[in-house]
Amino acid sequence: MFRVAAFLVIGASPLLLLAAGGAATPDESKGQPEPKSKAVPARHMEKLGRGIVATHQGEGKVFVSWRLFGTDPHTIAFNVYRASGDAEPVNLTKEPLTKVTHFADQGVEFANPVRYFVRPVIEGKEGEASGAFTLPANAPAQPYLSVPLKTLPGHIPNDASVGDLDGDGDGEYEIVVKQEQQGRDNSQKGKTGETKLEAYKLNGTFLWRVNLGKNIREGAHYTQFLVYDFDGDGKAEVMCKTADGTIDGAGKVIGDKDADHRNADGYVLAGPEFLTVFDGMTGKALATVDYVPARGKVSDWGDNYGNRVDRFLACVAYLDGVRPSAVFCRGYYTRAVLAAWDWRDGKLTKRWVFDTEDGTAGNRAYRGQGNHGISTGDLNDDGKDEVIYGSCVIGRDGKGIYSTGLGHGDAMHFGDLDPDRPGLEVFKANGDTANKAGIQLRDAWTGKQVWGVASTGAKGVGRACALDIDPRHKGMEAWGKGEGVGGLFNAKGEKISDASPRVCNMGCWWDGDLLRELLDGVTVSKWDHQNSRELRLFTGADHGVASNNGSKSNPCLCADILGDWREEIIARTRDGKELRIFTTTIPTEHRIYTLAHDPIYRLGVAWQNVSYNQPAHTGFYLGHGMKLPAPRPNIVTTPVNP
């Protein structure tokens, strides 16, 4: 238990600190969103299928759900069809469904395979059928989809990500999962295993395996892999750091296959470092360049034994507002470097580099401000993304926008956390020591503090969370774990309860209302705001799955990858031989487009596996009291290079 101490709310005045080397505050001209001189161009995002999924609930009951696209007209409706064996499909809906994107089927017999699909209805005209989801004959009643794995002996599945790797026109995701042998934190000496990246279709079809080799150390801070369609051709690529001895999905070795750069303590502090783009369908290395920045002198990063030099982060950002770039980073306790890359026309080119130590005026104010995580999004409504690097923000042009000076932290949440304020907000845990803003809500674009609560303990605030869990208060509720910050706060910084959830980890939209549920490992709970307690809704352990990453305790992935707007939980079985995808079967009265078509949420799914996993948030307010329909995203889903 954490001691609940008296707390200090720091008011709405800015808390923008100066670090050695120059001012970190933004120019006054950057204090408000830049005026739009012309219409903001639409960004290219995935052309998705309907993501239809059917779950047998037992006794012939089947729950069916599907996607509403961000590009669908608000007036769209759907007919739901079922086909059994060779029989003609039957329309199950007496009238097209206009208010929800799910359907409960009754009295289903499973003597033969049963297929479900939907047809959109626009202005009374029925459109083409979606892809179908098939339940096999004698389908068991279970709340998950099974994805069998080809896990190698001595390995265990860890974090995962998704993308349309094959680009075969179905618009459905494939999964890339990281397989580890003996992961270690950077602070722990000792040799590790050889990390593998494996790709699978949702039906379990194995696509490829990349062996990162002995010269990439295993652990949460080492292998930040991004799965995204970086060139806009409709097929996702995979990008990550590689080294001598990495073997791609086609069996080709990158660098020197015999090199072993590990020292006696198991750290890799010598030898070349690379950045590689892999083909999403085959795992073949398409391009490899030197990793930026090079490690250089190990002690320049904060210690001399190899801990802080190998703190890596990565994210996807639409720096030009149209197509995505990859940003790969190194360091956050002291020196920090971010390098942006474009994958275009078969070439990997460097867009810009931000380095706190390169002598650029003001850059040293950004030293030591990085988090155990990263976020990206359009902060000033100009259509182009910025990079939120913990307590600072780097602009689309690779130049610093502001640094609060509050230092690093373990947890950060970014989105429309307070819908009564214009713009977006960042809620963050700050530092390892007592801090006058141990937890803080700030304006994402200006960095100005909205409210903060002082920490009083020597260890500062380790974890913090922001989710809409109390319908009595509009916006996200926030809480942290550390002395002086006890209790639950509303989006205005008002303490609304002395008690807060025990869980301070992840969130998941799971049940039928607009509040978000608490996700701890593979367990979903509801916050009982009237009695200040957690109520269990779903226990993954009952279905043979386990969480990853020790006390950080997360599933392989939590994201909206199938069905309606609620999120799926992808978790590994205890023996590591299977992934199970859990999807909710709780009805909802709300119809919201797939969260994968919200730009900030989709980028959040891409960075969720980076360092300490955090939940993806939406760029619009999704919570109790939100305005429906949700604002339409400014996107197009046609490939750039068809």
- The candidate with the shortest Cα–Cα distance to 499, out of 460, 541, 527, 457, is 527
- The single-letter code of the amino acid at 639 is P
> What's the rounded mean pLDDT across residues 415-431?
96
- The candidate with the shortest Cα–Cα distance to 280, out of 195, 193, 161, is 161
CB-based contacts of 113: which residues, under 8 Å, 6+ apart? 84, 85, 134, 135, 136, 137
- β strands within 291-448, DSSP E: 312-317, 325-330, 337-344, 347-355, 375-377, 386-389, 392-394, 400-403, 412-415, 425-429, 439-443
CB-based contacts of 198: which residues, under 8 Å, 6+ apart? 149, 150, 176, 177, 179, 206, 207, 208, 209, 210
> What's the rounded mean pLDDT across residues 167-182?
95
> What's the rounded mean pLDDT across residues 435-446?
95
Written as six digits, the tokens of 166 are 């094959």
- The candidate with the shortest Cα–Cα distance to 223, out of 285, 255, 177, is 177
pLDDT at position 641: 63
Beta carbons of 480 and 461 less than 8 angstroms apart? yes
Written as six digits, the tokens of 335 are 């020196």
pLDDT at position 6: 33
pLDDT confidence bin for 33, thresholds 50/70/90: very low
pLDDT at position 508: 98
Helix (H) or strand (E) holding 603: helix 599-607
Written as six digits, the tokens of 369 are 């401000």
Q: Which residue has the higher pLDDT, 37 or 383?
A: 383
Written as six digits, the tokens of 32 are 């408000």
Written as six digits, the tokens of 94 are 């007496």
Beta carbons of 51 and 66 less than 8 angstroms apart? yes
60-109 pLDDT per residue, tens: 999 999 999 999 999 999 999 999 988 999 999 999 999 999 999 999 99
Decide if pLDDT at 630 tops 50: yes
How big is the CA angle at 554 (ends 515 and 470), to the nearest 5 degrees?
A: 20
Written as six digits, the tokens of 481 are 């774990």
Q: Kindly report the backbone phi and psi dihedral angles of residue 559, in degrees, each rounded to the nearest multiple of 5, phi listed first.
A: -165, 160
Give the residue carrying structure tokens 């031989």: 577
234: left (phi over 0), alpha (psi -120 to 50) or beta: left
pLDDT confidence bin for 26, thresholds 50/70/90: very low
What is the DSSP track for 432-443? SS--TTSEEEEE
Beta carbons of 65 and 52 less than 8 angstroms apart? yes
Dihedral sign (CA 426, 430, 435, 438): positive
- Residue 333 and residue 310: Cα distance in Å, rounded? 11
> What's the rounded mean pLDDT across residues 429-457?
92
pTM over 0.75: yes
> What's the rounded mean pLDDT across residues 28-43?
57
Q: Which residue has the higher pLDDT, 24 or 156?
A: 156
**Paired sense of beta strands 635-636 and 43-44, if any:** parallel
CB-based burial, 272-311: b 16+ in 10 Å, e otherwise: bbbbbbbbbbbbbbbbbeebbbebeebeebbeeebbbbbb
How big is the CA angle at 90 (ends 87 and 93), to the nearest 5 degrees?
A: 165
362-380 pLDDT per residue, tens: 999 999 999 999 999 999 9
- C-alpha distances in Å from residue 50, one per residue of 34, 38, 69, 119: 36, 33, 8, 10
pLDDT confidence bin for 623, thresholds 50/70/90: very high
Decide if pLDDT at 7 tops 80: no
ω into 629 cis (within 30 of 0): yes
Written as six digits, the tokens of 143 are 């709340």
Decide if pLDDT at 1 tops 50: no
Other Cβ atoms within 10 Å of 627 Cβ, number: 9
Decide if pLDDT at 160 tops 80: yes
- Residue 278 and residue 250: Cα distance in Å, rounded? 10
Decide if pLDDT at 157 tops 80: yes
pLDDT confidence bin for 10, thresholds 50/70/90: very low
- The candidate with the shortest Cα–Cα distance to 455, out of 440, 445, 476, 442, is 440
Beta carbons of 241 and 273 less than 8 angstroms apart? yes
- The single-letter code of the amino acid at 84 is S
For residue 75, what is the DSSP state? Answer: T
- Residue 510 and residue 567: Cα distance in Å, rounded? 6
For residue 541, what is the DSSP state? Answer: G
Beta carbons of 78 and 101 less than 8 angstroms apart? yes
Average pLDDT, the chain: 93
Burial class (CB in 10 A: 0-12, 13-18, 19+), 536: exposed
Decide if pLDDT at 416 tops 90: yes
For residue 22, what is the DSSP state? Answer: B
For the chain, how many helices (H) and strands (E)? Answer: 1, 46
- Residue 306 and residue 530: Cα distance in Å, rounded? 48
Written as six digits, the tokens of 357 are 């130590």
Decide if pLDDT at 25 tops 80: no
For residue 368, what is the DSSP state? Answer: T
Burial class (CB in 10 A: 0-12, 13-18, 19+), 544: middle
Helix (H) or strand (E) holding 288: strand 285-290
> What's the rounded mean pLDDT across residues 143-147?
97
Least confident of 35-39, 140-144, 412-416, 443-447: 35-39
- C-alpha distances in Å from residue 497, one per residue of 48, 111, 265, 476, 624: 42, 54, 47, 14, 18
Secondary structure (3-state) at 5 = coil
- The single-letter code of the amino acid at 342 is D
